[in-house]
Amino acid sequence: MTNVALSRKDPYTRLAALLFFAWITLMFTTPVGEGDYFWHVKTGQWIWQHKSLPTSDPFSFTVGGETPPAPDSGRVPFLLKQYWLGQLIFYGLWKLAGPAGMVLLRAIAYTGILIGLYRFGRRLTTSASTPLLVVLAVGSVLRNYSNERPQLFAYLLMPLLLALLERLRTASPGNQLRWPALFIPLTMFIWGNCHGSFILGMVVIGLAAIGILVDDFRQGHRQRLPIMAILAGGLLAPLLNPNGLGAFQEFFALAGSYTSQVAEFTSPIRLARQHGVLDYAYWGTVVVTILVLANNWRRLATPHLLLLWALAGLSLTATRYVPFFMFATPLLCHYAPQWQNSRLFRFIPLLLLLLLIGTANYGNVLKFREERAFPAKACQFLREANPSGNMFNYIGWGGYLMCYSRYPVFIDGRTLVVDLLPVHNQILAGREWKALLDRYSINFMIIPGTDAISLQAYPLLLQLLGDSSWELVYLDEVALVLIRHAPENQAIIDRYALAKEQLTSHIQARWQWQMANDF
pLDDT at 164: 95
Mean pLDDT of the chain: 90
Whether residue 52 is predicted with pLDDT greater than 80 in this model: the reply is: yes
Per-residue pLDDT reduced to its tens digit, 456-483: 999 999 999 989 999 999 999 999 999 9
Beta-carbon contacts of residue 35 (< 8 Å; ≥ 6 apart): 374, 395, 396, 397, 398, 399, 400, 412, 413
Which range (16-20, 127-131, 266-270) has the least confidence? 127-131
How far apart CA 236 and CA 250 sit, in angstroms, is 18
Using the Cα atoms of residue 323, residue 324, residue 327 and residue 331 in order, give the sign of their dihedral. Answer: negative
For residue 364, give the 3-state DSSP assignment: coil
Highest mean pLDDT among 3-12, 19-28, 341-350: 19-28
pLDDT at 499: 95
Average pLDDT over residues 259-277: 85
pLDDT band at 9; cut points 50, 70, 90: low
pLDDT at 175: 64
Per-residue pLDDT reduced to its tens digit, 406-447: 999 999 999 998 889 999 999 999 999 999 999 999 999 999
> Pairing relation of β-strands 390-393 and 470-475?
unpaired
pLDDT at 1: 38
> Pairing relation of β-strands 470-475 and 442-447?
unpaired
How far apart CA 386 and CA 406 sit, in angstroms, is 10
pLDDT band at 519; cut points 50, 70, 90: very low
Running DSSP on this structure, what letter comes out for residue 446? Answer: E
Question: Do the beta carbons of residue 150 and residue 64 sit within 8 Å?
Answer: no
Per-residue pLDDT reduced to its tens digit, 341-381: 556 666 778 888 888 899 888 988 999 999 888 999 999 99
pLDDT at 341: 52
Whether residue 50 is predicted with pLDDT greater than 60 in this model: the reply is: yes
pTM of the model: 0.91
Across 164-180, b (16+ Cβ under 10 Å) vs e yields bbbbbbebeeeeebeeb
**Higher-scoring residue by pLDDT: 69, 371:** 371
How many residues appear in the chain? 519
Beta-carbon contacts of residue 166 (< 8 Å; ≥ 6 apart): 120, 124, 331
Beta-carbon contacts of residue 338 (< 8 Å; ≥ 6 apart): 125, 126, 127
pLDDT at 35: 93
